[in-house]
Amino acid sequence: MNRLRLAALPAILACALTLGACSSDDDTSASESGNASETADATFSDGDVSVETLDADLLAKFSSCDDVAPAVEQYIEGLDADPNNGSSDYGVYCTWSTPASAASLDDIRTVEVMIETGNGAVSDTSVLGTAGLEVLSDSAVESKGGVAYTMNMGTDAAGITVTTVEFPDVRVSITGGQWSDSPSLDGPAAVAAATEILGL
């Protein structure tokens, strides 16, 4: 399994969402599927962020991926942190992968977490469905005006899952999957990790 292919999966999910939006008559929904990194000019403060004020200030809470790791601790056990992990004005980008010494494809796992600023809106659930994404119901997410959705993809060695929890001001994307000898980071598990990251 190509690790670069795994790292590109969130972009694939975003592409699917964009294509679904293009097939919709709702122009607003189409704009909502834009890349959250377009808000790169945002500046972040050190102010506390409560559940009621999910905005870009949340990114200030994560100075490194060590601050993100506890939310996915059971899924990254035995994996190596990518040397390029870190945070910036664009967001927080964290990847953990199987050591290069892995002898079998069955041993290869990659977990990725991205926290980015939102674009002021959330995706229309009807558009998500037409793009082939599965909407996940979560009361903590929905009560704060958010939406959670996932895409499942399979390979010969493992099932790969890309899950996004999206609010107007912040978006968390988690790439995981199902592995034979490790805890499954499927859609619901990824939503639980994302809500922990966001403090919901």
Domain ranges of the chain: 3-39+52-198
Q: What is the mean pLDDT of the segment spanning 64-92?
A: 90
Report yes or no: 140 and 148 within 8 Å, Cβ to Cβ: no
Q: What is the mean pLDDT of the segment spanning 94-102?
A: 86
Which pLDDT value is given to residue 89? Answer: 76
Report yes or no: 175 and 112 within 8 Å, Cβ to Cβ: yes
Which pLDDT value is given to residue 84? Answer: 92
CA distance 131 to 123: 11
Of the pLDDT bands very low, low, confident and very high (cuts 50, 70, 90), residue 147 is very high
Report yes or no: 171 and 116 within 8 Å, Cβ to Cβ: yes
Report yes or no: 85 and 124 within 8 Å, Cβ to Cβ: no
Residue predicted with more confidence, 101 or 3: 101
CA distance 107 to 131: 31
pTM: 0.70
Of the pLDDT bands very low, low, confident and very high (cuts 50, 70, 90), residue 136 is very high
Of the pLDDT bands very low, low, confident and very high (cuts 50, 70, 90), residue 120 is confident
